[in-house]
Amino acid sequence: MLETLIEPLQYGFMQRSLTIAVLVGIICAVVGSYLMVQRLALLGDAISHSVLPGLAIAFMIGINIFIGAFVAGLLSTVVINLIRTRSPIKEDAAMGIVFSAFFALGVTLITVIQKDTKIDLNHFLFGNILGVTVEEVRDTLIIALIVLTVVFLLYKELLFYTFDPLGAQAVGLPVNLLNLGLMMLIGLTIVASLKAVGVILVLSLLITPASTAYLLFTRLHEVMIGGVVIGVISSISGMYLSYFYNLPSGPAIVLVASGLFTLAFLFSPSQGILTHPVSNQNTPVLWREIKSLWK
Amino acid sequence: MISHRIVINSLSVNYRQLEALKNINLEILAGRVTGMIGPNGAGKSTLLKAMLGLIPARGGPILYNNQPLQDKLHLVAYVPQRSQIDWSYPATVWDVVMMGRVRKTGWFRRFSHVSRQKAIVALERVGMNELIDRPIGQLSGGQQQRVFLARSLTQEADIFCFDEPFVGVDQKTEFIIFEIFRELAEAGHIVLVVNHDLGESITNFDDLILLNQELIAYGDRTEVLQRSNMERAYGGNMNFFQESPNSKPNTPILY
């Protein structure tokens, strides 16, 4: 069994894929932990969908697609804020409007340029970890170094700010800068993860491993480290599934991550629903949940 | 001995076209336990937040010893209302208390041994040292409040601000908190507390600020608690704890 796993690693593309899987698993779990505790999962989803036109336009004018994606992500948050502050439209609707518009633009642009070039829309949407290039590994490594350095250096300030933003502001911490810094890290992480998981599902790699770890651990750094382990296992497993069964890498990674979440949800020592039943009734949990919809 | 004080000049706060606070002028003195009281919606929390620059406000600068308070925020320990905190956040008692040392430690540095020592001392003072590794979501209301109190003690601040610290808190905790307020005041600090009710505990305050969108009265507790002030603030029939000047202390008369 081990030989079947090791055998493909002699190929350059598998080595690159493995590197990306590890790097992306790490940074998504770390940054995703902040998204989770700040209840910004929806914003993460919006940004990741919004980067698609940036990828397309960058490709068309020949600049680094990471930069195009990053600019599009940034632009989308600016537009969301504009709609939210200058009109009666609330935050969730503003996000929905902007990300679907940007996403639609991206799909349209890629479909058009797809005719003349060899790019595949599905790779942008669902990931193509096996097709990662050396330049992309280099760029992802740079992003990972930036993300991890910032989180390490600013850990105690970010902990205070994400837990108690008013208290942090009252004590004189530059909360607007900290927030901006976090937004930048989120943007960079999303851009770095696009090749592995694709635009549609990158949110899952951000949120699911961190949430799984949240069911198992009690302190933020434990949740991050646990999330990293779970995220890396998910990425690598998804990569192998993609290789052996010719599946798109994004969905494969997400299915593994979601499976691990389900295990924690059912069996967590502190909060699993099977280890801590809500009541002593004999009816199965799922049936009880369905019945309660009628109340 | 210099008397430290916060001076608020002509402060006004608008909240979505409503005037939440109108032209507040007052002084808060060190060495006194100061309570902010008034009916629901009077603007008590708003005043506290505006004073600390947490919400936008109009008016003169807010001064601490004749310098802008905004430049001295590292001397301020602020404990927000418990309802505004996410208690499911993955943190332990220790994590929260150590947040009090973040500014003193400074950017890019790790917590020092001295910082940890101060945190332990603060936790012992509030009686929470046995629960250092307890996740905050598993604490009772009173325990949560004591953890925040320990955080503010660890900060070694000069100005202590508490927003409704006694909501949902047990008697023992309330006693500990007032004890610590008294110690902080006697050590020469400013202690400012937004209080949500007018029960017997009001006798623990030296000074009071009575608000209802405008400043009704401030100063010594017995002067502020005059019937005329209370009626202006609360408008008409209401019950509040009033100390009779002729009775012995601790024999309250309820009107």
pLDDT digits (tens, 9 = 90+) for B25-50: 999 999 999 999 999 888 999 999 99
Query: What is the β-pairing status of strands B76-79 and B67-68?
Result: unpaired
CA angle A17, A22, A26 (to 5 degrees): 145
Model confidence at B245: pLDDT above 80: no
Whether B108 has its CB under 8 Å from any CB of chain A: the answer is yes
A-to-B residue pairs, Cβ atoms closer than 8 angstroms: 80
Cβ pair B135:A218 closer than 8 A: yes
Across the range B196-209, mean pLDDT stands at 89
User: B87: exposed, middle or buried (C-beta count within 10 Å: 0-12, 13-18, 19+)?
Assistant: middle
Q: How many Cβ atoms sit within 10 Å of the Cβ of residue A6?
A: 10
Q: Which residues of B42-66 are buried (b: 16+ CB within 10 A; e: fewer)?
A: bbbbbbbbbbbbbbebebeebbbee
What does the pLDDT read at residue A278?
Answer: 66
**B42 in Cβ contact with B29 (< 8 Å):** no
Query: Which of B45, B82, B102 would best serve as a mutation to test chain A binding (most A beta carbons within 10 A)?
Result: B102
Whether B69 has its CB under 8 Å from any CB of chain A: the answer is no
What does the pLDDT read at residue B133?
Answer: 96
Q: How many Cβ atoms sit within 10 Å of the Cβ of residue B67?
A: 10
Distance separating alpha carbons of residues B153 and A169, to the nearest angstrom: 18
Distance separating alpha carbons of residues A254 and A192, to the nearest angstrom: 16
Q: Which residues of B touch A217 (CB under 8 A)?
A: 90
Q: Between helices A41-50 and A65-86, what is the axis angle to 10°?
A: 130
Angstroms from B102 CA to nearest CA on chain A: 7
Across the range B132-136, mean pLDDT stands at 96
Q: Which residues of A51-83 are buried (b: 16+ CB within 10 A; e: fewer)?
A: bbbbbbbbbeeeeebbebbbbbbbbbbebbeeb
Q: Which of A170, A219, A223 sits opposite B78 (nearest CB)?
A: A170
Residues of chain A with confidence (pLDDT) below 70? 278-283
What does the pLDDT read at residue B248?
Answer: 45
Q: Tens digits of per-residue pLDDT, A127-179?
A: 889 899 999 999 999 999 999 999 999 999 999 999 999 999 999 999 999 99
Cβ pair B95:A159 closer than 8 A: yes
Cβ pair A218:B76 closer than 8 A: no
Residue type, B9: N
What does the pLDDT read at residue A116?
Answer: 80
**B92 in Cβ contact with A218 (< 8 Å):** yes
Q: What is the ipTM of this complex?
A: 0.89
Across the range B163-182, mean pLDDT stands at 93
What does the pLDDT read at residue A275?
Answer: 78
Query: What is the β-pairing status of strands B18-29 and B5-15?
Result: antiparallel
Is the CA virtual torsion B44, B50, B56, B61 positive or negative? positive
Q: Name beta bridge partners: A98.
A: none
**A220 in Cβ contact with A78 (< 8 Å):** no
Cβ pair B85:A220 closer than 8 A: no
Q: How many Cβ atoms sit within 10 Å of the Cβ of residue B81?
A: 16
Task: Tell me what percent of the residues of chain B surpass a pLDDT of 90.
Answer: 75
Q: Which residues of A touch B52 (CB under 8 A)?
A: 169-170
Model confidence at B237: pLDDT above 60: no
Residues shown for chain A: 295
Distance separating alpha carbons of residues A240 and B26, to the nearest angstrom: 69
Q: Tens digits of per-residue pLDDT, B55-101?
A: 999 998 999 999 999 999 999 999 999 999 999 999 999 999 999 99
Whether B56 has its CB under 8 Å from any CB of chain A: the answer is no
What does the pLDDT read at residue B236?
Answer: 61
Rg, C-alpha atoms of chain B: 19
Model confidence at B103: pLDDT above 80: yes
Report all structural domains of chain A as residue ranges with CATH numbers, in order of start. Answer: 2-292 (1.10.3470.10)
Backbone angles phi and psi of B19, in degrees to 5: -85, 105
Confidence category of residue B226, pLDDT binned at 50, 70, 90 = confident
Mean pLDDT of chain B: 89
Whether B132 has its CB under 8 Å from any CB of chain A: the answer is no
Distance separating alpha carbons of residues B136 and A180, to the nearest angstrom: 27
**B153 in Cβ contact with B180 (< 8 Å):** yes
Q: How many Cβ atoms sit within 10 Å of the Cβ of residue B92?
A: 21
Q: Tens digits of per-residue pLDDT, B174-200?
A: 999 999 999 999 999 999 999 988 888
Q: Which residues of B touch A164 (CB under 8 A)?
A: 80, 85, 99
What does the pLDDT read at residue A288?
Answer: 79
Model confidence at B247: pLDDT above 60: no
**A154 in Cβ contact with A174 (< 8 Å):** no
Model confidence at B16: pLDDT above 50: yes
Q: Please state which architecture CATH assigns to domain B5-254.
A: 3-Layer(aba) Sandwich (3.40)
Angstroms from B10 CA to nearest CA on chain A: 21
Backbone angles phi and psi of A8, in degrees to 5: -65, -20
Residues whose CB is less than 8 angstroms from the CB of residue B178 and which lie 6 or more positions away in sequence, other chains included:
B33, B201, B204
Whether B45 has its CB under 8 Å from any CB of chain A: the answer is no
What does the pLDDT read at residue B255?
Answer: 37
Angstroms from A126 CA to nearest CA on chain B: 32
Q: Tens digits of per-residue pLDDT, A53-66?
A: 999 999 889 898 88
Confidence category of residue B250, pLDDT binned at 50, 70, 90 = very low
